[in-house]
């Protein structure tokens, strides 16, 4: 086993020093685009500054015949688009490489890192099964960074989309100082688990609980009577595991794709559940999902107002106070600080949101 100290020694001579803390950069929406699709690629420059992350997708949804065009398109976009990716980028540049069992992934890495390694903030790795997959990527990235003279390590994000990956979630999160976060991959995960849903993310009307039947005067259950049903969330367990594993390792959890683009209402519900449970962002598969994600993954004005009131009332942060008839103490202060700090990070990159938060008044 590697000594804990070795985690902060580069894995190749000349590679940049591993980070000690993952930067908390806002990433409410990770907007996927296919760099081999010229129409989509042409829109990328105008999207810079309107979304937290633009992700050039090389994996699923890109046809085998277009894999090389997608890789080359992403390199062109990375090299030519102003303010995209790297330390000075107003929008981060991520990619999703092909899976480790594909014939394309090695070429993805050896082409991307020398060409745009200084622009790529995060590499998303699909179908991660265990720590060994992250170790493999970690070592190759160090070698390629050293060779290319890259001075800032490229971070790694794993998609949770195999049953084995879910079983190994803690070791995946802890496998490298490069680990930036995890996303839920509900389509592949459903298939791998042999779940019986054909949807990409979201709920399912068959996954429900039903109110108990009423009884008649003789105490006989009326099972055919009308009863309330409550649809349950198929993804609650996995998202909860992701949130705990990420928090315990100082990295960030994300919802994944919501495939029913037309159903913006259910999409917003799923995103909000993920936000409330602890996720910091989600994927966007269509421009209209960017607006939903930006709204949902930014704390509300009411929450920030309440949080600031608690922070102001709690003084040195110890003891307890009563506000609007509710008890607040050291622990609820910490909850409020999570929201206040997130709002500060988002306000730093989103002037409209900053103006909204700045206008909050506390005196009533």
Binding site for ligand GLV (CB under 6 A): 60, 159, 161, 185-188, 200, 256-257
Between residue 89 and residue 108, which ones bind Mg ion under the rule CB under 5 A?
A: none
Minimum distance from residue 260 beta carbon to ligand GLV (Å): 13
Q: Which is nearer to Mg ion, 192 or 303 (CB)?
A: 192
Residues 1, 285: Cα–Cα separation, whole Å: 40
Point out which span in 154-162, 165-173, 211-219, 260-268 binds Mg ion (CB under 5 A): 154-162
Shorter beta-carbon distance to ligand GLV: residue 54 or 187: 187
CB 171 within 8 A of CB 130: yes
Site mask, Mg ion, residues 306-335, x = CB under 5 A? ------------------------------
- Tell me how long the chain is: 364
With CB cut-offs between 5 and 8 Å by kind, which of ligand GLV, Mg ion, none does residue 186 bind?
A: ligand GLV
Asked if residues 229 and 208 have their Cβ atoms less than 8 Å apart, the reply is: yes
Q: How far is the CB of 134 from Mg ion (least distance, A)?
A: 17
Angle at 103 between CA 53 and CA 282, to 5 degrees: 20
The CB-of-319 to Mg ion minimum distance in angstroms stands at 49
Which of 134, 123, 78, 76 shows the shortest CA–CA distance to 98? 123
β strands within 97-251, DSSP E: 120-125, 155-160, 179-184, 208-210, 229-231
C-alpha distance from residue 156 to each of 44, 86, 328 (Å) = 22, 14, 38
Q: Is the CB of 200 or the CB of 323 nearer to ligand GLV?
A: 200
d(CA 272, CA 295) in angstroms, rounded, equals: 9
Angle at 252 between CA 248 and CA 253, to 5 degrees: 95
Q: Which does 256 bind (CB under 5 to 8 A by kind): ligand GLV, Mg ion, none?
A: ligand GLV
Rounded to a whole number of angstroms, the distance between the first and last alpha carbons of the chain is: 57
What phi-psi label fits residue 157: left (phi over 0), alpha (psi between -120 and 50 degrees) or beta?
beta
Instruction: Enumerate the β-bridge partners of residue 320.
Output: 329
Which among ligand GLV, Mg ion, none contacts residue 333 (Cβ within 5 to 8 A by kind)?
none
Name the residue among 180, 72, 38 with its Cα closest to residue 123: 180
Nearer to ligand GLV, 74 or 310 (CB): 74
Of residues 213 and 259, the one with the C-beta less far from ligand GLV: 259
Minimum distance from residue 101 beta carbon to ligand GLV (Å): 15
* Cα gap 188→259, rounded to integer Å: 13
Closest CB 274 distance from ligand GLV, rounded Å: 14
Pairing of strands 229-231, 179-184: unpaired
Could you give the string, one character per residue 242-281, with x where binding to Mg ion holds by CB under 5 A and - elsewhere? ----------------------------------------
Q: Which residue has the tokens 């202060």?
A: 333
Residues 185-224 contacting Mg ion, CB under 5 A: 185, 188
Residue 181 or residue 185: which is nearer to Mg ion going by CB? 185
Helix (H) or strand (E) run with residue 145 in it:
helix 131-148
Nearest distance in Å: CB 103, ligand GLV? 19
Cβ distance to ligand GLV smaller for residue 116 or 124: 124
CB of 98 to Mg ion, least distance (A): 11
| CB 325 to ligand GLV: min, Å | 44
Given the rule CB under 5 A, which residues bind Mg ion?
161, 185, 188
């Amino acid at each position: 086993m590697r000594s804990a100290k070795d985690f902060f020694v580069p894995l190749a001579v000349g590679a940049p020093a591993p980070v000690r803390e993952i930067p908390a950069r806002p990433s409410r929406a990770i907007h996927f685009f296919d760099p081999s699709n010229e129409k989509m690629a042409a829109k990328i420059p105008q999207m810079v500054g309107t979304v937290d992350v633009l992700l050039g997708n090389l994996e699923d949804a890109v046809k085998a015949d277009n894999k090389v065009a997608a890789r080359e398109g992403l390199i062109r976009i990375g090299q030519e688009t102003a303010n995209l990716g790297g330390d000075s980028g107003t929008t981060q540049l991520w990619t999703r490489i092909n899976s480790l069992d594909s014939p394309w992934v090695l070429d993805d890495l050896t082409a991307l890192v020398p060409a745009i390694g200084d622009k790529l903030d995060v590499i998303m790795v699909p179908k991660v099964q265990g720590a060994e997959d992250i170790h493999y990527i970690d070592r190759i990235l160090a070698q390629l960074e050293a060779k290319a003279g890259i001075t800032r390590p490229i971070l790694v994000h794993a998609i949770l989309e195999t049953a084995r990956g879910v079983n190994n979630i803690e070791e995946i999160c802890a496998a490298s100082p490069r680990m930036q976060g995890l996303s839920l991959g509900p389509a592949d995960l459903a298939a791998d688990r042999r779940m019986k849903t054909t949807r990409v993310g979201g709920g399912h009307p068959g996954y429900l609980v039903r109110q108990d039947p009423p009884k008649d005067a003789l105490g006989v259950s009326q099972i055919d009577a009308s009863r309330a049903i409550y649809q349950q969330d198929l993804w609650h367990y996995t998202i909860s595991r992701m949130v705990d594993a990420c928090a315990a390792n100082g990295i960030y959890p994300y919802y994944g794709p919501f495939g029913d683009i037309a159903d913006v209402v259910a999409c917003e519900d799923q995103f909000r559940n993920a936000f409330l449970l602890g996720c910091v962002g989600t994927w966007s598969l269509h421009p209209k999902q960017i607006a939903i994600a930006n709204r949902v993954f930014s704390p509300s004005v009411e929450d920030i107002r309440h949080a600031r009131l608690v922070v102001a009332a709690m003084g040195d942060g110890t003891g307890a106070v009563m506000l609007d008839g509710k008890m607040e103490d050291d622990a609820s202060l910490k909850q409020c600080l999570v929201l206040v700090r997130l709002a500060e990070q988002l306000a730093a990159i989103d002037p409209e949101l900053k103006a909204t938060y700045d206008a909050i008044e506390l005196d009533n």
